[in-house]
Structure 1
C-alpha cells in the first residue's frame, strides 16, 4: 500500500513558494529555516523527487515541484473544505472585520490566510480605521468583530498583544522649543502624546499632524519633529533625548466582538488569530 502524503509537509512546501524562500517561509510558519529545510527534505524523500533548486535568485521549482504545487494546492483546498463541512457551527457567510489602519500591512498578511484556510465558508469584508472608529462600528452592529487598541485602564475584549510606545526624535525650533508631530485622528496615541508634552512644561509647537504613524516616523527621520511612536515601527537610535527618553507606554490590543457573537464561544477564534499574529 502506498503511504499517505503528509499535509503539513505540503503546506510547508507551498508556504516556502508563496513567501519566496526558506527564511521567509520559516518566519511565516514560526519555525527555524533549518526545520523548514528538514521538512522539505522529508517530503522529497517520500516522493523520491527533487522539488526545489536553490540559486542566487532564490528558489526554482523542478518539474516534479510544478506538479506538486498544482495538485498540492488542490489537496489542501479539499482538506479545508472537508474540515469546514464537518464543523456544523463554523462561521459562514459575510463577515465584517475591522483592524487599525497603521497595522494593516502586517495584520492583513497574517490574518487573511486564517479566513481563506480555516474558514472557507466565510466571505470577509475588511474595514481599516482608527480603533475608536472601529469600536463604535462594533457597538452599533456595523462590524462583526475588530482588533482595537484598548483604552487606558480597561480590559475589554480578548487580549492579543502588547506594544511599547516611546518618544523619538530631537527636533526643536529656532528658539529651542520642541517641534512635535502628533496623529491628527482621534486616538489613544494622540491623547497620550499631548498629555505628556504638557506635563513636561516646555515650549512646544505642533509642526506635523498626520493620519498615519508611518508619516510621523518619516517626519522624525527627516529631523522635522519628535513623535510618540510604537517601538515596532521606529529605530532605537532615534529615541528622544529632548523629552524623557525613558517615558514609555504599554499599548494593548484586543479582539472585540459584536452582536453576531453574543451567544457564541469566541475563545477558539481568538486563539487562532493570536497564533497567526505570533
Structure 2
C-alpha cells in the first residue's frame, strides 16, 4: 500500500465514481480500478460495491475515509514544509459569499503584498459547502457566517455584523421602526439560498417569533436580491456590511422589526488537526487588526 493508493481511494470516495475519479487524477479507468482492488486485497475487505452503473461505499470504506483524509493532510503539510511553504508555498482560503463579497478582497490584497511569492487559492461558496471543504482538507481555513456544525472544527469570532430588513425606497415600510411581524405576512420575501449563513440566521430568528419565511425568490447572489428589492419586487433580510453603499445613496430603504435580534458574528474556522503555519498565523493577525479598525 502506498500514499498513491490512499489518494486514489479518497478521490473515488468523493467522486462516487471510478470514471470521474480517473479523470480527475488523470489516470486510466483500469489503473484506478486496479489500485482500489490492491487496497481491498491489502485490507482483506471490500471498500466499494457496484450499484447499478455506479458504485456504493461499504461500511469498511466509510470507516477508512476520515483516516485516509487525515493521512493525506499530514503528508501535504509535510510536503509544504519541506518546500518552504511559509513564503513560497500554497495557501487555500475559503469564504462564505457575504464575506467573500465585502471583506475578503481587501484582506487578500493586503496579504499578497506581504507574500508576493505565495500561491493563493480562494474558494467562495455557501457556508455549509465551505465548512465541508475545510473538513475534507480542500481548504486550509475559511471565513464564514453562522454556526459551525462539526466538532472537528476550531472556530473563533473575528468580526461582528447584523442583518437588516430592506425594501424599495418607495415602499410604505421604508424608514419605519418597530414594525410588527404580523404586518409582513403578505410581503414577498426575496432571500438567500437555504444553506447560506444569512438565510439560516433569518429563518431561525423569525422562527423564534413563530413566523415562517416563505420566499418568492431565492438566490446565491446578494447583488441580484438588492436589485430586485430596489425595483419593488419584495423585501429582504441582508447583511448590513453589504448594504452600506445602497443605503447611503438611498437606492433602497430599510426598516426595523419589533423585538427582532438579527446580530451575528463572522468566524474563522480550521480543522482541529490542522498545523497552523506562519503564513496562516499572519492572516489570522490581519483578522484581529480588522476587528480593531
TM-score range, shorter chain: 0.5 to 0.7
CA contact (8 A) 1:158 1:270 kept: no
Q: Which residue number corresponds to residue 265 of structure 2?
A: 252
Pick the aligned partner of 1:220 from 195, 213, 229: 229
Cα drift, residue 143 of structure 1: 0.6
Give, in whole Å, the separation in 2 of the partners of 1:217 and 1:182: 10
Distance 1:220 1:257, change over 3 A: same
CA contact (8 A) 1:160 1:253 kept: yes
Q: What is the correspondence of 1:98-113 to structure 2 with a 5 Å cutoff?
A: 98-113=94-109
Distance 1:185 1:196, change over 3 A: closer
Distance 1:221 1:156, change over 3 A: farther
Q: Which residue number corresponds to residue 156 of structure 2?
A: 158
Q: Which residue number corresponds to residue 149 of structure 1?
A: 145
CA contact (8 A) 1:144 1:259 kept: no
Give, in whole Å, the separation in 2 of the partners of 1:149 and 1:202: 22
Give, in whole Å, the separation in 1 of the partners of 2:194 and 2:212: 23
The answer to whether the aligner puts 1:208 opposite 2:217 as a matched pair is: yes
Q: Which residue number corresponds to residue 240 of structure 1?
A: 255
250-259 or 209-218, which deviates more:
250-259
Q: What is the correspondence of 1:109-188 to structure 2 with a 5 Å cutoff?
A: 109-151=105-147, 156-169=154-167, 177-188=186-197
* Higher RCO (Cα < 8 Å, 6 or more apart): 2
Unpaired segments of 5 or more residues in structure 2?
Answer: 1-83, 174-183
Distance 1:140 1:122, change over 3 A: same
187-196 or 220-229, which deviates more:
187-196
Give, in whole Å, the separation in 1 of the partners of 2:276 and 2:214: 50
Q: CA RMSD in A?
A: 3.6
Cα drift, residue 218 of structure 1: 1.9
Aligned length: 187
TM-score, normalised relative to structure 1: 0.55
Unpaired segments of 5 or more residues in structure 1?
Answer: 1-87
Q: Which residue number corresponds to residue 286 of structure 2?
A: 272
CA contact (8 A) 1:220 1:227 kept: yes
Moved over 6 A (4+): 152-155
TM-score, normalised relative to structure 2: 0.53
Give, in whole Å, the separation in 2 of the partners of 1:122 and 1:111: 14
